[in-house]
Amino acid sequence: MNKPFFLNSTFLKILAMIIILIDHVGYFLVSPFGDTETLYWLLRGIGRLGFPLYAFFIVEGIIHSRNIKNYLLKILALALVISAFQVLSLYSPLSQYFYIGEAYNVFLTLFVGGLTVAYFHIKKYRRIYMLIPLLVLIITNISALYIEGDWQILLVNEYRIYGLVMIFGFYLAYALTPKVRAYLVANYQAPHEGINTPQYTQKINNYLSCISLLFVNLLWYILSVTIAIVPFDGFQTYSIFTAILILVYNGEKGYQPVWFRWVYYLFYPAHLVLLAVISLLIS
């Protein structure tokens, strides 16, 4: 029987890796000027679909992890690895070869966003210290609007507050899913509809996640055109097309041995370093 949802977690994670590779090939190896300008923007446009997938699966990881603490520690370790590379690129002899520009730390976004999600998910609200990293990032993001300098590379996260809100938006979709399902059961369920099945629940979650994705992008676009200091590139709104992939997510894990889970996260810093080296060699 054909299923309307046919993409499992493994497939979407592989796709996320391919998408960010395409994005960063454009960033490191293709010039945004001259004959390659169209190719550059095409690659970067495809790349806008990458972060929402990582944000979506950081929420999935928190929800389904058997050990949330260990899961978050792995994300933090990767954030520190990228921070170390940033320090080397800024303050070591490598700085004359690598220009990282505004290459902020996406794993800082994923860690703080995941930690915030974990705080609300485990419902141990006395552990208020779990929200301290979120507060720090909010302060540094606001400060970055007025204070320039290399400090931003280390203390301001990739996608800034927009990225954090997107992660929490996906969690909010998950939290609202049982409430929407209960409403449908109480008001519209016919015996044959199977609203309480896992497939239908996943369908509700997918729809709510897509609504959240659209809302966050629309909100930030409106803020950016009405408030000049809001850091948001309208080009990022292409990320709304990630909704197509989320809609056909079936909620199944797929084949994910331990090595695959490590590859999924290590791929990000590894391919950045590789592309930076290739960029150095060909330039």
pLDDT tens across 225-280, in order? 998 888 888 889 999 999 999 999 999 999 989 899 889 989 998 998 898 888 88
Rounded CA separation 143/126 (Å): 28
Residue 190 has pLDDT above 60, yes or no: no
Collapse the DSSP code of 189 into the 3-class scheme (helix H, G, I; strand E, B; otherwise coil) and give the result. Answer: coil
Tell me if 243 sits within 8 A of 210, measured CB to CB.
yes
Residue 225, CB-side half-sphere exposure with 13 Å CA sphere: 8
Whole-angstrom CA distances from 107 to 103, 130, 271 are 12, 17, 14
pLDDT tens across 32-83, in order? 888 999 999 999 999 999 999 999 999 999 999 999 999 999 999 999 988 8
Q: What percent of the chain clears pLDDT 90, i.e. is strictly above it?
A: 64
Rounded CA separation 262/267 (Å): 8
Band the pLDDT of 2: cuts 50, 70, 90: very low
H or E segment to which residue 1 belongs: none
Whole-angstrom CA distances from 70 to 67, 76, 95, 165 are 6, 10, 33, 23
First to last CA, the chain: 53
Gyration radius of the chain over CA positions = 20
Q: Which residues of 204-217 are buried (b: 16+ CB within 10 A; e: fewer)?
A: bbbbbbbebbeebb
Tell me if 78 sits within 8 A of 107, measured CB to CB.
yes
pLDDT tens across 79-116, in order? 998 888 888 777 777 666 665 556 789 999 999 999 99
* Helix boundaries (H) for the chain: 9-29, 37-47, 50-64, 68-91, 106-122, 132-144, 151-155, 160-187, 198-226, 242-247, 258-282
pLDDT for res 135:
97
